[in-house]
């Protein structure tokens, strides 16, 4: 389905800095033209896509842009990170700090510092 393909493209672009249209076409099992149309649709949805021509060119999401995929409330995140912090204090693994950096949630980071 198209929506599955669009989500797959967005996910790939979030995980990799730069990909080519042929790579996305092969991964999605569609033509390059279909990928080009999909990229246009993603742009229309408000996700800033950058395309670069040439040998080292490709498709990427604009630097500094991130999608908010948070499904937890601030209170839920605080509870999760409090639990992780408790585990970190016992295991000395710094897992909560690493996860907070990946998520980039400032309120969660603040709850870690309490």
What's the rounded mean pLDDT across residues 70-82? 76
User: Which residue from 104, 98, 111, 114 is spatially nearest to 70, judged by alpha carbons?
Assistant: 104
C-beta of residue 27 within 8 angstroms of C-beta of residue 12: yes
- Please check whether residues 57 and 8 belong to one and the same domain: yes
Q: pLDDT per residue over 20-43, tens digit each? A: 999 999 999 999 999 999 999 999
User: Which residues form the domain of 48?
Assistant: 2-61
Residue 51 has which token pair? 């395309």
Provide the whole-model pTM: 0.60
Question: In this structure, what CATH number is given to the domain that contains residue 51?
Answer: 1.10.10.10
- Rg of the chain over Cα atoms, rounded to whole angstroms, equals 18
- Please check whether residues 47 and 87 belong to one and the same domain: no
Asked whether residue 69 is assigned to any structural domain, the reply reads: no
- Please check whether residues 26 and 48 belong to one and the same domain: yes
- For the chain, what is the domain count? 2
Taking each continuous run of H as one helix and of E as one strand, the counts in the chain are 6, 2
- Please check whether residues 51 and 85 belong to one and the same domain: no
């Amino acid at each position: 389905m198209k929506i599955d393909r669009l989500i797959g493209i967005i996910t790939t672009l979030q995980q990799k800095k730069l990909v080519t249209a042929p790579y996305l076409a092969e991964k999605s099992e569609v033509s390059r033209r279909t990928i080009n149309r999909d990229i246009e649709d993603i742009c229309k949805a408000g996700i800033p896509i950058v395309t670069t021509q040439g040998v080292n060119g490709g498709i990427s999401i604009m630097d500094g842009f991130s999608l908010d995929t948070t499904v937890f409330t601030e209170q839920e995140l605080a509870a999760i990170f409090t639990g992780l912090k408790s585990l970190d204090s016992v295991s000395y693994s710094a897992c909560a700090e690493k996860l907070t950096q990946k998520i980039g949630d400032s309120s969660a980071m603040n709850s870690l510092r309490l």
